[in-house]
Amino acid sequence: MDASTAAQIDALALQTHRPLLICDVDEVLVRFIDAFTDWLRRRGLVLHNASWSLEGNIRTPDGVALAAAEVRHLLDVFFAQCTEHLPLMDGAAEALAQLARQGVQVVLLTNLPHPWRPARRRNLLRHGLDFPLVSNTGPKGPAVRALRRKVRQQVAFVDDHPDFLHSAAEHCAPPLGVHLVHFVADNPFVVHLPDMRAPHVRVRNWREAGMALHRLLVLPALKQHREVRT
């Protein structure tokens, strides 16, 4: 975890007695693949889905794959131009608002260069997602662990990428456990998803995610509250 991510987490004032949801952004809250595909098309390029990677899949109309350096440059330009305008995943705002009303704290953990964090924040605010946003680079396990240590209640981590979920599992071994929720959005790359090794809950949309997170976070908190009162 780099210094910027650590400073953002240190600055968060989370309540130790409330459950916590740590939630990814791209392909969980906003539709990155749809927006990126349209953006490439306007530049005469095609996004293929021959593998679980952007490299090798961004091609010219005659099928020539762009070099890795060109792909990285395109991603930089895309994020600079489009981060503020990505479309929302169906049901995301409603599900998070409902969880918040039920006492769940929400922190959004996104992997993108730190300078683009303000643009991502503006994009999320336009969609009604007014929650703390932490930008991260590299594996997410260290950031999830730092967030997990801020609360004593149940914690869930939602992400679409198995590697980030595995990283969280490795850094949050019991008793510092985290519920892993694998969000599998409907996009062309789903057929190439790497296997999930860690125990997890798999959901396909925010209706399923909302129900799973209610069971994992809200119900245990309600049960504990009732036990304390009796």
Find the domain containing 114 and state its range.
3-31+88-229
pLDDT (tens digit, 0 to 9) for every residue of the chain, 230 residues total? 999 999 999 999 999 999 999 999 999 999 999 999 999 999 999 999 988 888 899 999 999 999 999 999 999 999 999 999 999 999 999 999 999 999 999 999 999 999 999 999 999 999 999 999 999 999 999 999 999 999 999 999 999 999 999 999 999 988 788 999 999 988 888 888 888 888 899 999 999 999 999 999 998 887 776 666 66
Co-location of 49 and 21 in the same domain: no
Question: Are residue 113 and residue 165 in the same domain, yes or no?
Answer: yes
Distance CA 158, CA 213 (A): 9
Q: What is the largest CA-CA distance in the chain?
A: 70
Residues 56 and 168 in one domain: no
Q: How many CA atoms lie within 13 A of 16 on its CB side?
A: 3
Give the CATH number for residue 105: 3.40.50.1000
53 and 151 in a single domain? The answer is: no
Query: Where is the domain boundary, 65, 85, 105?
Result: 85
Range list of H helices, the chain: 3-10, 32-41, 68-82, 92-101, 117-126, 141-148, 162-171, 206-213, 219-229
Provide the domain count of the chain. 2
Show which of 85, 101, 119 is a domain's final residue.
85
